[in-house]
Amino acid sequence: MIEKSASAIWTGNLKDGGGTLTTQSGVLTNTPYSFATRFESGKGANPEELIGAAHAGCYAMFLSALMSGADLVPDRITATSTITLDPTTEGSPTVVGAHLTVVVKAPAEESVIRDLADKAKAGCPISKLLNAPVTMDLTVG
């Protein structure tokens, strides 16, 4: 099993407070995020764009793996994942979708690339995660 982690620290209330995000690798270190960066247009990170980055990166890698398995070497795969958050969902804001926009440049027939791209969309680990159970350990105090 491979395990990677990231942590968040939040202080204050929702609208006036703020937090930082740090990843195990150190690529993000005390990266700021806030209500404004998530629900408005403030400068800083937000969970949805981080999920989008993870999804796009995972998808591109998985499509490359599938293409390699078919003896195809892509010249370039460009993937963008747009995560849609509905802030008006009853109960709490809800991620309601992820949309991949993909451009593939490769020496192969379009039908072959389309088939592999569809398989990558379904099989990408982050695509699967977007509908996965969530477990938790909690310590109070």
Please tell me the predicted confidence (pLDDT) of residue 141: 61
Distance of CA 33 to the CA centre of its chain: 16
What band does 136 get if pLDDT is binned at 50, 70 and 90? confident
Tally the domains of the chain. 2
Rg (CA), the chain: 18
Please tell me the predicted confidence (pLDDT) of residue 41: 86
**Could you tell me if 4 and 15 lie in one domain?**
yes
**Could you tell me if 70 and 57 lie in one domain?**
yes
Is 137 within a domain? no
Q: What is the pLDDT of residues 64-111, one digit of tens each?
A: 999 999 999 999 999 999 999 999 988 899 898 999 999 999 999 999
Count CB-CB contacts under 10 A for residue 32: 13
> By the 8 A CB rule, do 47 and 92 touch?
no
Please tell me the predicted confidence (pLDDT) of residue 53: 96
Q: What is the pLDDT of residues 31-63, one digit of tens each?
A: 999 999 999 988 889 999 999 999 999 999 999
Q: What range defines the domain where residue 109 resides?
A: 47-130
- pTM, full prediction: 0.90
**Could you tell me if 51 and 116 lie in one domain?**
yes
Residue 117, pLDDT above cutoff 70: yes
Q: Classify each residue of 47-76 as buried b or exposed e, where b means 16 or more C-beta atoms within 10 Å of its C-beta.
A: ebbbbbebbbebbbbbbbebbeeeebebee
Amino acid (1-letter code) at residue 114: R
